[in-house]
Structure 1
Amino acid sequence: MGRLMTVATCSLNQWALDWAGNLARIKESIRTAKALGATLRVGPELEVTGYGCLDHFLESDTYLHCWEMLSQLLQDTTCHGILIDIGMPVMHRNNRFNCRVICLDGKIILIRPKLWLANDGNYREMRYFIPWRRPTHVEEYYLPQMIAKLQGATKVPIGDAVISTPDTCIGAETCEELFTPNSPHNNMGLNGVEVFTNSSGSHHSLRKLDTRISLIQEATRKNGGIYLYSNQQGCDGDRLYYDGCAMVIINGEIVAQGSQFSLNDVEVVTAVVDIEEVRAYRFAPSRGLQSLDAPTYQRIETSFSLSSGDDDFDPTIVPSDRMSLRVHKPEEEIALGPACWLWDYLRRSKAAGFLIPLSGGIDSCSTATLVFSMCRIVMEALEAGNEQVKEDVQRIAGAYGPDGWLPKTPQELCNRILHTVYMGMATQSSKETRSRAERLAKDIGAFHEDMNIDDAFHATKGLLTQATGFEPKFKVHGGSNAENLALQNIQARTRMVTAYLFAQMLPTVRKRPGGGSLLVLGSGNVDECLRGYLTKYDCSSADINPIGSISKTDLKRFIRWAQTAFDLPILEEFLDATPTAELEPITSDYTQSDEADMGMTYHELSVFGRLRKEAKLGPYGMFQRLLHDWRDQYSPREVAEKVKRFHHFYAINRHKMTTMTPAYHAEGYSPDDNRFDLRPFVYPAFYASHSFKQIDKMVEQLETKTKIKI
């Protein structure tokens, strides 16, 4: 048999429960792979349903519709003549499994369940499925009647088996299995599997791609082999953005890589690989000896070959060249990931655009700049001839038809899609923030409104005076802390109500065809959420939040990068400005400062966040760690005070996270209460806690030792 074979993997922008749309994209990827000469096509995890169905995976309808979609696929002869690896859930013996369904020419060859399930962080697979805890075990699966008629049989194999062809052997693993210490590819490789497929629903997180790819490279560096990685791409209806990057790797070297961030609904990546390279790579006697002890896999035989025969030799078909991994910088990831997520959410929600309460600070500035980045990406897709993007742009802008409006610049598109509102107060808002907001909106093309909310503030404040005779005052005017906080909260919550009013009415005011309302974007960063430095139900309450899991430090890196990359000199002013909520009156000797109010810097907050979540440290463990890390900056007592202050405010503000706007997931220390960070929201008083007493005890011991040495 021949030694060269063309293989294909893909990234699909699937949508949870979009049965017809998902099937159409699967079929398109198969046809594209065939047209490019591929004989094997691999698709993403759970591609028939979309990965993010969550508790819909518990419904019997989901499994019925999966078989209905697969039935249509099997009957489509344009998808024959190629070995296809499809992802869908399967119910077997009253248990639910996350499976790969391997098909050829309208027949199912093997159903391969996932052995190890993702069940941490954003993932809850064991809530819906059980793992196939019997490696190399295969049994019979009784097919639904609609499939049995097509199959010409009532049963097919289900289990941990591999596919044997006349020219090679293929084994499948799914997402999480790659990340486990004893991955299936180890034993499969020792047992003679030469082509590995990995179908994933892997989300984007800052600085994550390099780790993922290094695991794939290491898998084939040790075992040898051809590895096809497929991943979902886009927002499928939840907080996660799946970042594609389908690729083909041979013996640890990349020969094909797809995009990590793209508006393409279907992206197929192919490579021509030489199977003899794998056989030559596996020469070591030690590997051969280990293979004798490896478990034996049942081989599902098929007469279909991935390579062409010697009689069909084509000298124009040559192996794909090696290439370097393309990895974006974190600031570029921020510019691309949340922007693509915003576009998917916008087009699928059928909304008319976005509205941002633009304060003149760096957080709302970052949110607006992300929307501008989205517009730039959309323009690139339009210029590349992406018909789906064109259709979505015209629908959102209310300009249907072949002769409908299309933007010529990102600013033109931004003007149709993005609406910004500066909601100031006469005595609290500075000229600087008002001017920055207006000039940023102008530079990116946003439709901008400038207004004051003084009347609404005083009307709300007057309700208390009218009812009780008591008139609250700001602290700078002699009021108490309680009065000061209450008056700040009136402004913050008034802005939220006003934002939704404008979001509903601005399309009507602008006489936009089709009407509709705008999605309100939140702009609270991960550090403020962690500390609880925000008003419950203020402007942080929105429809979605693209920066809710991004640190202030990373946002500054993004803005500094965007200043040049997007040609926006105005962004320099946001970087230089002191972060302030502007909720207290400005006087000759006082201007409100976020870091002064919080009693800690944003950098310190990010350190606390990573130690709390990623290092899994409580107050006492965090204190011990920071004694070392901050030994050149602070005394033990100062470290103790900072740690205790953080945990105190974290505890008393934890309840706010239960109501926070759904945010794009980007950081490993996100305090997202709804998916990622499951904690109580009513805590005992930390200042009287055992852990704080232990911290104080250690501080006293360290100070005593210091005195003795002196």
Structure 2
Amino acid sequence: MSYTTKVSTCSLNQHALAFSLNLANLKAAVDAAKADNSKYLLTPELSLCGYGCEDHFLEPDTESHCWEILAELLPSTLNCPNFLLDVGMPIVFNGSRFNCRVLVCDGRIVGIRPKTVMADDGNYREGRWFTPWCRGVGELEEYLLPKAFIDSVPGSSQRTAPFGLMVFRTSDGLKLSVETCEELWSPESPNIELSLLGVEVIANGSGSHHELRKLHRRLELIIEATKKNGGVYLYSNQRGCDGSRVYYDGSSMIVCNGQVLRQGVQFGLKDVEVLTATVDVEGVRSYRACRPSFRMQSASHSCPREQVNLESMRAFLPAASARRDLKPTDPVELTFSTPEQECLLGPACWLWDYLRRSGGSGFFLPLSGGADSASTATIVFAMCKLVMKEFLAGDNEQLRRDVVKVVGEGAVVRTAEELCNLILHTTYMGTSNSSQQTLRRAGVLASHIGCYHLSANIDAMVSSVVGVFTTITNCRPSFESAGGTSVEDLALQNIQARLRMVLAYMMAQLLPWCRKRKGFLLVLGSGNVDECLRGYLTKYDCSSADLNPIGSISKVDLKNMLKFAAVEYNLAILAEIVAAPPTAELRPNGAKEEHTQSDEADMGMSYEELGVFGRLRKISRCGPVSMYRKLLHIWPELTAQQVADKVKRFFFYYSINRHKMTTITPSYHAEAYSPDDNRFDQRPFLYDARWSWQNKVMDTLASEDQQGLC
């Protein structure tokens, strides 16, 4: 006998503690699912309050407000027989706080399911706020609902709800259960046991951030789980910037027996995206029954007696006389963004969310004519492209209101370039040390993307500061090329960089006034992850900003992104910028057209080498000696002593510059070797930079290894 049901999942752009916004998004999702005649709607992790509340989870108000908006949601599950709504919120039970799924049907809470595995690595600190639930499936307790919640639900007689890991069973035999985010990634995922218990529909409400090349792994886990065990798997993910450095990339999906039936947009600007599929429950049972290994293992599992019973979730054709099952949804072809698209579109969506929610009227960027600032400008242009595509489509009323709020009521925008002119403000801040080529490249790029661009010579600012110093100390510093010391030379370079930051903030405050517009501009930084790792930046220079879209993207990925954007957006100047050697242009250069100061020469290592160092240090957790051992195999063309010297040089500069990460601009998180001290990379900022013991061990090993090779 056939059995189909309609189920829905969604991507929601929830914002931490923005309860009114979150409620509106949830209601819109419920309305869309009900319009599709769905029987079940899954929403993202902690969807009532937003995933990124962090230490606000410790405040009782956060849970209280979740109960308040849950009471507002309850009526939406009435007048729609057997419609099951699954939302997320924090709940304190028996003195511990749990990250919970709350399932609601016909105006009643039918179950509260706490999370069992905490996400406590990288960007996550769930163990700081939540306790993992340690009991097995079916070991349920009764949770006494808060009196304020009971009183706010007119006519409700419910006083308690089951609490624990539960299986929902319908009157006609369908079994449904849930897991939460990190549980999918854990070695013993709950979906394994649930499948062996005969659960046909498993749902995962998630808050999974974007990271380069991560979507492949997420899809792989879900597809493989349902391919191996059979079943329907719904995945719901948060979308957007909900208050921190990470961007949640949506990509919600519905998978059945290893085939993807629905896949959501990865980088989208809709606050609410609902995906609905008709799933073949009998097909799941048949799939499992045809797999001998599944039959043998499931036979030893018995579903707990203590289950939560629901009415039928079966879906028929709309006509009452035609009691036939709906046609199951056909599989779709998977789509993936390339790494170049991820580098471009992820930060672009993050910037749009940040801009519209901050109340700002645009961005200010010091545009140097180099690859890093060009990358930041291109990301903002990509943001404008995405926004205008959605704006002109005309079906996103929230985005239309946001655009009007940002650019002002009277502004008329028809193209991405026009929007970019209103939003992005750039200035080339040159000195006598700057080249004509970088000035030209900055101007050409600005004209092609349409941003509001100015050029300035800041020699007068530099001379004034140096003059004040000379007056105070009666000492006048000089560049090495003019007979000065390396200390003088570095100080003169740094003052140029720092003064650009000072001017940037003044421009950000006053340019809207100059253009007779309201509001303020957010200052954008443009330091890449490799330079941050090496510390190749001036503390409090123009790497200090309000936001840094590229702070966790490598130089290699940025160059590939620029090559992609050069073709995608017909910006030939980007290819020229990529081809130009990276240079800070802070030392005198004579009359040469291209500046001869080289970033890689100054750093003493290449950007490619920095990427290798970064991945070994963070992802592979290598200290100096273990890094040396691994690099012997990665760089076989080098002698053992050359490898040791490179490792020593890296750790020396990493150590003496680590303090800069304590003040680094909040950056879009994209790369797993980000050195962000503030959240992602919990390492000291004061080191013994000599690494004397480690270096002695490396030198000994290098000598022995070299003799072994001879």
- Interval of TM-score (by shorter of Structure 1 and Structure 2): over 0.9
Q: Give how far 1:262 is off.
A: 0.5
1:614-664, Cα deviation, whole Å (9 max, x unpaired): 1111110000000011012x1111111111100100000000000000000
The answer to whether residue 177 in structure 2 is matched with residue 171 in structure 1 is yes
Task: Give the conservation status (yes or no) of the 8 Å contact 2:364–2:524.
Answer: yes
Give the direction of change, closer, same or farther, for the CA distance of 1:478–1:78 in structure 2 (3 Å limit): farther
1:371 partnered with 2:380: yes
The equivalent of 1:40 in structure 2 is 40
Q: 1:189 maps to which residue?
A: 195
Q: Which residue of 2 aligns with 1:288?
A: 295
Q: What secondary structure sits across from 2:448 in the alignment?
A: helix
Amino acid at match of 1:652: I
User: Is 1:526 aligned to residue 534 of structure 2?
Assistant: no
Of the three residues 517, 535, 545, the one matched with 2:520 is 517
| Match of residue 362, structure 1, among 349, 357, 371 | 371
**Preserved contact between residue 71 and residue 146 of structure 1 (Cα < 8 Å):** no
Q: Which amino acid aligns with 1:189?
A: S
1:271-318 per-position Cα deviation (integer Å, ceiling 9, x unaligned): 111111101101133322212333643310112424349966466942
Aligned counterpart for 1:547 among listed residues 550, 553, 558: 550
Deviation at 1:408, TM superposition (A): 1.1
State the distance in 1 between where 2:58 and 2:179 align: 23
SS at match of 1:450: strand
From 362, 367, 375, the equivalent of 1:353 is 362
Contact 1:175 1:202 in 2 (8 A): yes
Q: Secondary structure at the residue paired with 1:282?
A: helix
Aligned to 1:13: 13
Give the TM-score of the pair, scaled to structure 1.
0.96
The residue aligned with 1:104 is: 105
* Aligned mates of 2:244, 2:691 — CA distance in 1: 37
Deviations 1:511-545 (A, max 9, x none): 01xx2110000000000000000000000100011
SS at match of 2:89: strand
Offset, 1:335: 1.6
Q: Secondary structure at the match of 1:686?
A: coil
- The answer to whether the 8 A contact 1:31-1:78 is kept is no
Tell whether the 8 Å contact from 2:315 to 2:326 is kept in structure 1 after alignment.
no
Q: 1: CA distance between counterparts of 2:325 and 2:491?
A: 75
Aligned residue for 1:213, secondary structure, equals helix
- Asked whether the 8 Å contact 1:113–1:159 carries over to 2, the reply is yes
Counterpart in the other structure of 1:217: 223
| 1:398 corresponding residue in structure 2 | 408
Task: Show the counterpart of 1:664.
Answer: 668
Q: Which amino acid aligns with 2:112?
A: I
Partners of 1:572 and 1:219 lie apart in 2 by 43
Which residue of structure 2 aligns with residue 629 of structure 1?
A: 634
Which residue in 2 is equivalent to 1:207? 213
Are residues 1:307 and 2:308 paired? Answer: no
What TM-score comes out, normalization by structure 2 length? 0.96
Distance of aligned partners of 1:460 and 1:491 in 2 relative to their CA distance in 1, 3 Å threshold: same
Q: Equivalents in 2 of 1:44, 1:274: separation in Å?
A: 24
SS in 2 for 1:567: coil
CA contact (8 A) 1:2 1:308 kept: no
Determine if the alignment matches structure 1 residue 147 to structure 2 residue 112: no
**704 and 196 in structure 1: CA distance in 2 versus 1, 3 angstrom threshold:** same
CA offset digits 1:1-25 (Å, max 9, x no partner): 8612111000000000001110110
1:229-285 CA-to-partner distances (Å, cap 9, x unmatched) read 000000011101000011100001101111011000000001111111101101133
**How far apart, CA to CA, are the structure 2 residues paired with 1:316 and 1:93?**
44
Whole-Å separation in 2 of the counterparts to 1:474 and 1:313:
88
1:52 aligns with 2:56: no
Change (3 A) 1:669 1:550: same
**Pair 1:312–1:110, CA change in 2 (3 A):** farther
For the residues of structure 2 that align with 1:519 and 1:441, how far apart are their CA atoms?
Answer: 18
The residue matched to 1:389 in structure 2 has which SS?
helix
How big is the alpha-carbon RMSD for the aligned residues of Structure 1 and Structure 2? 1.5
Q: 2:508 corresponds to which residue?
A: 503
* 1:441-480 correspondence runs (5 A): 441-480=446-485
Structure 1 Cα separation of the partners of residues 143 and 358 of structure 2: 39
> Equivalent residue for 1:645?
649
Given that residues 189 and 223 in structure 1 are in contact (C-alpha distance below 8 angstroms), is that contact kept between their aligned partners in structure 2?
A: yes
Q: How many residues of Structure 1 are paired with residues of Structure 2 in the alignment? A: 698
Identity %: 53
Structure 1 unaligned regions, length at least 5: none
Equivalences for 1:465-614 in 2 at 5 Å?
465-512=470-517, 515-587=518-590, 591-614=596-619
Unaligned runs of 5+ in 2: none
**Residues 421 and 452 in structure 2, CA contact (< 8 A), matched pair in contact too:** yes
Distance in 1 of aligned mates of 2:195 and 2:149: 32
Structure 2 equivalent of residue 419 of structure 1: 425
Q: 3-state DSSP class of the match of 2:299? A: helix
Q: Go from structure 1 to structure 2 and tell me whether the alpha carbon gap of 1:313 and 1:638 turns closer, same or farther (over 3 Å shift).
A: farther
Is 1:67 matched with 2:72?
no
Provide the C-alpha distance between the structure 1 equivalents of 2:231 and 2:607, rounded to a whole number of angstroms: 46
Give 1:102 deviation, angstroms.
0.6
- AA aligned to 2:207 is G
Cα gap change, 1:315 to 1:413, in 2 (>3 Å): farther
Cα contact 2:370–2:583 (8 A) shared by 1: yes
2:316–2:325 contact (8 Å) kept in structure 1: no
Asked if structure 2 preserves the Cα contact closer than 8 Å seen for 1:243 and 1:337, the reply is yes
Q: CA deviation at 1:704?
A: 3.0
